């Protein structure tokens, strides 16, 4: 059905309604006034806003979980609609004049060129940043990991590096619409690589300059975060061992490595962080009501093969999905179901390992070390 609708007509239909207004139908509202709006992500559990809504381009992207899309995906994932029902919910397609078609085509061409240039610059910036880093040994980052019972050894930190003074860009206050440099801080950085091991982005963990802990960012606490991604994360992973046939993957660096340190993995297991639960799972074809909170929805468990999230190297035959127990359990399980079915559909064997309720594997490891 989707292929029978003229893409230009679909874009024309989207242009008649602001994307932020579609989100508002499901209770997702922003205090921002410009065409860029930030909100707490409705696609994964969080306390501060990571979801960017661009009313000008009609696109959204979450920098926390990697969710992204447009008017139609909002209506599908939050409203539980099929694509055709989403089209009708926006008013249905209408005949587009030749003049309107030319305007839309020119706008698309301009946006595609801008996005291609931004992507190219982000890749180059990621490469420069990663190449500027030094070994973790003897650094503030080593102390940070030691505080989480994770000793630094080359086998798992080969793609992690340390930058002693890295610019932190963020929002100076709650009303700021643009980011500015708010200071320089030490940071642990990690390479995000695609299935071919090409560097596509860099994960940054900003550290407190005095204590070996994550930075409490300056400025707007609602939007500024200690962990950020430069470049791309969608489809990529942070490898914590060489690639192997058996892979265990969790959301973050610390929790994935902690799972192994707890003795759950054999010597031949490969480890990689998926950066976010949304990237691990990829998108679903729709959503269903949250079992406990009627104001929320969770993925329906059926993977959308056109939006896959992480793409694994062909060598990987078995996947162990690591789930945190300190997030919304219904959202976590729904996304794990999407991920598990996606990898199983690819012919891979899938297992799931969940942290205890209220904890992630990093918490468990630290508690074990302190007992």
Q: Note the pLDDT tens digit of each residue in 258-273.
A: 999 999 998 899 999 9
In the predicted structure, residue 3 carries a pLDDT above the cut 60: no
Q: How far apart are CA 90 and CA 12, in angstroms?
A: 11
Give pLDDT, residue 45: 63
pLDDT tens for 306-330 read 889 999 999 999 999 999 998 889 9
Chain centre to alpha carbon of residue 350: 21
Q: Measure Cα distances from 250 to 68, 213, 241, 323 in Å.
A: 20, 21, 13, 6
The closest of 275, 278, 272 to 259, measured between CA atoms, is: 272
Give pLDDT, residue 356: 95
The closest of 226, 191, 189, 181 to 208, measured between CA atoms, is: 226
Q: What is the mean pLDDT of residues 54-78?
A: 86
Compare 223 and 189 and report the one with higher pLDDT: 189
Specify whether domain 233-371 bears CATH 2.10.25.
no
Give pLDDT, residue 44: 67
Q: pTM to 2 decimals?
A: 0.85
- Cβ atoms of 332 and 356 within 8 Å: the answer is no
Share of the chain above pLDDT 90, in %: 60
In the predicted structure, residue 55 carries a pLDDT above the cut 80: yes
Give pLDDT, residue 288: 86
Q: What is the mean pLDDT of residues 137-144?
A: 97
Q: Sheet of 227-231: strands edge to edge?
A: 160-170, 180-193, 199-206, 227-231
In the predicted structure, residue 1 carries a pLDDT above the cut 60: no
What does DSSP say about strands 180-193 and 287-289: parallel, antiparallel, or unpaired?
A: unpaired
Give pLDDT, residue 30: 85
Q: How far apart are CA 78 and CA 66, in angstroms?
A: 16
The closest of 38, 142, 95, 183 to 29, measured between CA atoms, is: 38
**pLDDT bracket for residue 155 (50, 70, 90):** confident
Rank 108-112, 237-241, 279-283 by mean pLDDT and report only the highest: 237-241
Give pLDDT, residue 47: 61
Q: Say whether 233-371 and 2-96 share the same fold.
A: no
**Domain map (residue ranges) of the chain:** 2-96, 132-231, 233-371
Lowest mean pLDDT among 71-85, 160-174, 332-346: 71-85
Q: How far apart are CA 244 and CA 250, in angstroms?
A: 16
Q: How far apart are CA 8 and CA 103, in angstroms?
A: 10
Homologous superfamily, domain 2-96: Zinc finger, CHC2-typedomain (3.90.580.10)
Q: On the CB side of 30, how many CA atoms lie within 13 Å of its CA?
A: 30
In the predicted structure, residue 4 carries a pLDDT above the cut 90: no
Compare 47 and 75 and report the one with higher pLDDT: 75
pLDDT tens for 294-308 read 777 888 999 989 889
Q: How far apart are CA 244 and CA 266, in angstroms?
A: 12
**pLDDT bracket for residue 184 (50, 70, 90):** very high
pLDDT tens for 213-246 read 999 999 988 888 999 999 999 899 999 999 999 9
Secondary element (H or E) of residue 297? strand 297-299
Compare 12 and 238 and report the one with higher pLDDT: 238
> Hey, what's the torsion of the CAs at 75, 221, 128, 52, to 10 degrees?
20
Give pLDDT, residue 2: 44
């Amino acid at each position: 059905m989707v292929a029978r609708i003229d893409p230009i007509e679909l874009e024309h239909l989207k242009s008649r309604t602001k994307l932020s207004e579609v989100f508002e139908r499901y209770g997702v509202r922003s205090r921002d006034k410009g065409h860029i709006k930030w909100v707490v992500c409705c696609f994964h559990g969080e306390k501060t806003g990571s979801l960017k809504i661009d009313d000008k381009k009609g696109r959204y992207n979450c920098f926390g979980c990697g969710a992204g899309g447009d008017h139609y995906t909002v209506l599908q994932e939050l409203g539980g609609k099929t694509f055709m029902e989403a089209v009708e919910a926006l008013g249905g397609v209408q005949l587009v004049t030749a003049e309107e078609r030319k305007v839309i085509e020119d706008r698309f061409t301009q946006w595609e060129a801008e996005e291609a240039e931004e992507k190219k610059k982000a890749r180059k910036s990621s490469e420069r940043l990663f190449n500027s880093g030094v070994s973790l040994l003897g650094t503030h980052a080593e102390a940070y990991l030691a505080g989480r019972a994770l000793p630094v050894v080359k086998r798992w930190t080969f793609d992690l590096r340390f930058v002693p003074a890295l610019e932190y860009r963020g929002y100076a206050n709650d009303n700021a619409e643009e980011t500015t440099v708010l200071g320089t801080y030490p940071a642990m950085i990690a390479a995000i690589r695609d299935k071919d091991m090409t560097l596509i982005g860099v994960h940054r963990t900003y550290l407190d300059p005095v204590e070996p802990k994550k930075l409490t960012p300056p400025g707007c606490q609602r939007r500024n975060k200690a962990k950020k991604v430069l470049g791309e994360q969608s489809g990529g992973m942070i490898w914590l061992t060489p690639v192997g046939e058996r892979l265990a993957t969790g959301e973050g660096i610390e929790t994935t490595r902690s799972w192994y340190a707890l003795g759950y993995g054999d010597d031949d297991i490969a480890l990689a962080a998926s950066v976010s639960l949304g990237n691990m799972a990829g998108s679903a074809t729709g959503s269903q009501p949250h079992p406990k909170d009627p104001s929320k929805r969770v993925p329906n468990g059926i993977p959308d093969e056109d939006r896959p999230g992480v793409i694994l190297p062909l060598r990987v035959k078995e996947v162990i999905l690591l789930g945190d127990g300190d997030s919304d359990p219904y959202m976590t399980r729904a996304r794990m179901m999407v991920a598990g079915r996606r990898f199983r559909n690819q012919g891979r064997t899938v297992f799931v390992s969940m942290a205890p309720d209220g904890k992630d594997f990093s918490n468990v490891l630290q508690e074990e070390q302190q007992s």
